[in-house]
Amino acid sequence: MHSTHSHNDVSEGQDASNPSPIHRALSVTSNATLRRLDPDDPIVVMRNIHKTYLLGLEGVAALRGVSLKIQRGEWVAVYGTSGGGKTSLLNIVGTIDKPTKGDLTICNTVITPNTKDEVLAELRLNKLGFVFQTFNLISSMTALENVELPMVLKGTLTASERRTRAVASLEKVGLSHRLHHFPAKLSGGEQQRVTIARAIANLPEVLLLDEPTGDLDTSNTHRIIDLLHRLNSEEDVTLIMVTHDVYLKNFAHRVIYMRDGKIQRVEMVRSVRRVEALSDLRRRLEEDKRPLVSSDPSSSHSPTGGHIGLLPGEAVHRPGRFVSCATEIREPGDYATYSPACGIPSVVPDAQHPQPAQQPSEKKLDLPADRFGGRQVLRSVEDIDHIV
């Protein structure tokens, strides 16, 4: 069932004395990765793993005889149907669940159904990192405090050392300007990057990711993929990623397809394909940085220097003295649901400067006498002064 990586991708069908540009790129970006994946140095070994959950008096089989070896420094993508066992596989590797049957070794630690929870907790804290689709950040803590939390639990660093490493982790994911922001003030992509920074705070050997881009838009997906690639290639972090996004499999070393609790098939991703995917990712990242506006300063006089959605050569429409479309200024009495007894005070007191409430204002807007259907109409730009 298991296949080892082919180290001949660079030289297949190619004269060694005259390498193509794509193979020259491979020699720079991928050879180190290929040499690092030693088939004799697995970091995760699963042999005939079964996992059965009790549902009332019946047992539901989530994993049925899964055998798998994952090499140190490898990026593995796991695909499959809903209920196929992907999340159960991730939970077993992450020691969140124990196998019902089978042999499991993670980071040279043998896991059995009788392994104590203290041993599993120590393994999770020191060797494993988790990235969830729903982020699971603590809302009452800032980004910096969320990243510090695993180091606090580990208890081997001083407060200043924790703070230094947390800042470095957030800088690594490009969030040095969001250190003191709470999760509610961060975008989805920023929250996911904080989650990754927290996961790598204790320098894990294995990073487990459950749908890391499932709730992200295209631009943030590109950023997360680039970050994961750098962690894998530069930090030598083993990645085990469950996903439905077929685009992500181009960056992995190996793709595993699961169905009905079993490994249905395994696909090796060739080095050339990964390099092409990385080249395409760089191009997409550059496109994401480009503004969606015209870069010609002569075509815009707005403070931002452009107009969203303006096509090249398209003129910017600016109204003259009079508004082209009449804008109706309606009063409360124009609505059928209005009741004079439900007037709103013109002054609303606040907690620090309480003021007595006033009666509803009956002041009419002093607009021109032009009327359409009994309503006052804003006809010129100067009429706005009557509102301010």
φ and ψ of 241, to 5 deg: -125, 125
Please check whether residue 179 is in contact with residue 209, taking contact to mean a CB–CB distance below 8 angstroms. Answer: no
Q: Is residue 143 domain-shared with residue 236, that is, in the same domain?
A: yes
φ and ψ of 188, to 5 deg: -60, -40
From the list 207, 201, 197, the residue with the least C-alpha distance to 151 is 201
Q: Is residue 159 domain-shared with residue 90, that is, in the same domain?
A: yes
Residue 208 covered by a domain: yes
- Cα gap 126→206, rounded to integer Å: 10
Q: Is residue 127 domain-shared with residue 257, that is, in the same domain?
A: yes
Q: Which residues does residue 58 pair with via DSSP β-bridges, in sequence order? A: 55
The domain boundary, picked from 238, 269, 300, lies at 269
- Cα gap 175→197, rounded to integer Å: 9
Structure tokens at 36: 């690092």
- Cα gap 202→85, rounded to integer Å: 28
Please check whether residue 332 is in contact with residue 339, taking contact to mean a CB–CB distance below 8 angstroms. Answer: no
Residue 254 covered by a domain: yes
Structure tokens at 102: 């089978």
- Cα gap 51→266, rounded to integer Å: 21
Please check whether residue 10 is in contact with residue 31, taking contact to mean a CB–CB distance below 8 angstroms. Answer: yes
- For residue 317, the model assigns a pLDDT of 46
Burial per residue of 15-48, b for 16 or more beta-carbon CB atoms within 10 angstroms, e otherwise: eeeeeeeebebbeebbeebbeebeeeebbbebee
- Cα gap 177→149, rounded to integer Å: 19
Q: What is the pLDDT of residues 57-113, one digit of tens each?
A: 888 999 999 999 999 999 999 999 888 999 999 999 999 999 999 999 999 999 988
- For residue 301, the model assigns a pLDDT of 44
- For residue 359, the model assigns a pLDDT of 52
Structure tokens at 233: 């290639």
- Cα gap 135→192, rounded to integer Å: 6
Q: Is residue 141 domain-shared with residue 264, that is, in the same domain?
A: yes
Please check whether residue 104 is in contact with residue 111, taking contact to mean a CB–CB distance below 8 angstroms. Answer: yes
Q: Is residue 241 domain-shared with residue 341, that is, in the same domain?
A: no
- CA 288 from chain centre, in angstroms, equals 15
Long-range contacts, 352-361 (Cβ 8 Å, 24+): none
Residue 13 covered by a domain: no
Residue 216 covered by a domain: yes
Q: Is residue 104 domain-shared with residue 200, that is, in the same domain?
A: yes
Domain limits for position 92: 37-269
Q: Which residues of the chain have pLDDT under 50?
A: 1-17, 19-35, 293-311, 314, 316-328, 343-351, 360-363, 367, 370-372, 381, 384, 388
Residue 303 covered by a domain: no
Domain total in the chain: 2
- For residue 353, the model assigns a pLDDT of 53
**Do strands 238-242 and 254-259 pair parallel, antiparallel, or not at all (unpaired)?**
unpaired
Q: Is residue 328 domain-shared with residue 253, that is, in the same domain?
A: no
Q: Is residue 230 domain-shared with residue 364, that is, in the same domain?
A: no
> CA gyration radius for the chain?
30
Residue 80 covered by a domain: yes
Q: What is the pTM of this model?
A: 0.66
Provide the terminal-to-terminal Cα distance of the chain, rounded to the nearest Å: 75
- For residue 23, the model assigns a pLDDT of 41
Q: Is residue 52 domain-shared with residue 184, that is, in the same domain?
A: yes
- Cα gap 165→182, rounded to integer Å: 19
Q: Is residue 260 domain-shared with residue 196, that is, in the same domain?
A: yes
Edge-to-edge strands, sheet with 75-80: 128-131, 206-210, 238-242, 75-80, 254-259, 262-268
- Cα gap 145→276, rounded to integer Å: 38
Q: Which residues does residue 155 pair with via DSSP β-bridges, in sequence order? A: none
- For residue 167, the model assigns a pLDDT of 95
CATH number at 173 reads 3.40.50.300
Residue 78 covered by a domain: yes
Structure tokens at 379: 């006809």
Q: Is residue 329 domain-shared with residue 181, that is, in the same domain?
A: no
**Torsional class of 313: left (φ above 0), alpha (ψ -120 to 50), beta (otherwise):** left
Residues 6+ apart with CB under 8 A from 106: 43, 44, 93, 95, 123, 127, 128, 206
Q: Is residue 155 domain-shared with residue 222, that is, in the same domain?
A: yes
- For residue 300, the model assigns a pLDDT of 43
Residue 287 covered by a domain: no
The domain boundary, picked from 269, 293, 310, lies at 269
